[in-house]
Structure 1
Amino acid sequence: MRGADKLVSDSLATAKRIIDPDTPVLARFDSAFYSANVAKAVRAAGVHYSVTLPQNAAVKKAIAHIPAEAWRGINYPQAIYDDETGRWISDAQVAEIDFTAFSSKAQEEQLAGRLVVRRIPELNTTKLAAAQGQLFDTFRYHAFFTTVEQSVLDTVAADKVHRQHAVVEQVFADLKAGPLAHMPSGRFYANAAWLVIAAISHNLLRAAGSVAGGKLVNARTVSLRQKLVNIPARIAHRARKLILHLPTHWKWATAFDRLWHNTLSPPQLATP
């Protein structure tokens, strides 16, 4: 990714200015940030590096050398949705092996660490049907590289911590399904203003969903717009008041009423 090292360097510099200097920092990335330049920027900032790896020849070779007895079963408290199979995955196995990242680069650019691998059974019916019978279990592998010592985060803990970086991906998906589906201008500053407004609207929608409660707490912003914002209604004037007539037998009436009163009602007096 062009300019990724500068982006990472600036972000880490900002982070280190606003947190306790003794607080350990872990920079987590997806595979787009697996590069020697990014790793160099992370090391220069004095923080740890955790990055998803592409399934290249070096990674596949390392995975093949993991002993069978090294795999440990784990059960996720919350299932993870797998896009390839269209299923929720609640069980998997993890293992790790020593790994040197960027081994094809010069010695000073190479980085020693741990290759942590999570594997799940192959459930893609198309792939299984293409095979001539299944003589043994087949798995799909998801690997990441980390410089965090094993004494700090063991295999299971390292896998759990690294997967938490995917939380921000849901925010990106929400924004791409809405205001960031396209940029409105060919001018940088116009798009920058649009981005700020998009972030503000996203935060307001998320806050509205939290106040409305129920299933809307975890709903995507596109659902919040459909259920709380884009509502067919009729405005009437009576006794110098505006009255909003909402649909009869509306499924989300209770949630909207909760949002309306919690947002527009006078603040409650604090009890001594």
Structure 2
Amino acid sequence: MITAVTGATGNLGGLVVDALISRGVAPGDIVAVVRDADKAAPLAQLGVAVRVADYSDTAALTSAFAGVGKVLLISGSEVGQRIAQHNNVIDAAEAAGVSLIAYTSLLAADTSGVSLAPEHKATEERLTASAIPAVFLRNGWYWENYLGSLAQTIEGGVLLGAAGNGKIAAASRADYAEAAAAVLTHDDQGGKIYELGGDEHLTYADLAAVIGDASGKPVVYKDVTESEYAAILEGAGLPDFVATMLASADAGISRGELDTDSGDLQELIGRASTPVAEVLRAAM
């Protein structure tokens, strides 16, 4: 069965393609749906079929899904536009006669108060209403989300955030990619919901200590309010919607909304999640 991966040149999508091949899927049985064919040249060299389509172009998406059995819909990056974009992908999959859609959602998307949750919840509802069986990969937070400010954190010796004493069960991007590949290479996945998170359940104070150990420099956690954190991020040059999203995620962590002990990730990948210290050392 042919498997299509949307956003296949993105950070997650590329790792999913790698994981599928590692699991024995022939490159010729993978369709990489991308916006820029030039960026997908390395995939084409592997023998992966590259098809160009944007989430805003239902007709192009329908053509890209021709002959495809399974689709991995990787959630779009344009916050505020994702409901319409995801609906376009689902409409195209329906028109193409796809037999399964796997969707990268958010941990506890149906109940989460994190600002990212409503778009994920709406997409899940659209998929539930579809005649195509769907599986929800509710990804927790990525450890890589902390790498952009890692140098500044180490240099200043302070990890800033608004997570209070809440715990986070994050995992590496490669862990989530491997979980997606596991789902896509197994049958009878329609209707399943996976709550995906890592083995480590860390407060930000714990995370600061791990960063300190990995860097060899002391790092402490400084907790601020959600609004203060958003203002700090905006002052550092982040767009307001990104600052609001990150601050909202921290508030969600304080409420326990990005923590899980479901064990779904570990069952899918057949091992423990990648330790955050390993992710940090690789980045350093």
Q: TM-score, normalised by structure 1?
A: 0.27
- Which structure has the bigger radius of gyration? 1
Greater RCO structure (CA 8 Å; 6+ sep) = 2
User: Which has a greater percent of strand?
Assistant: 1
Q: TM-score, normalised by structure 2?
A: 0.27
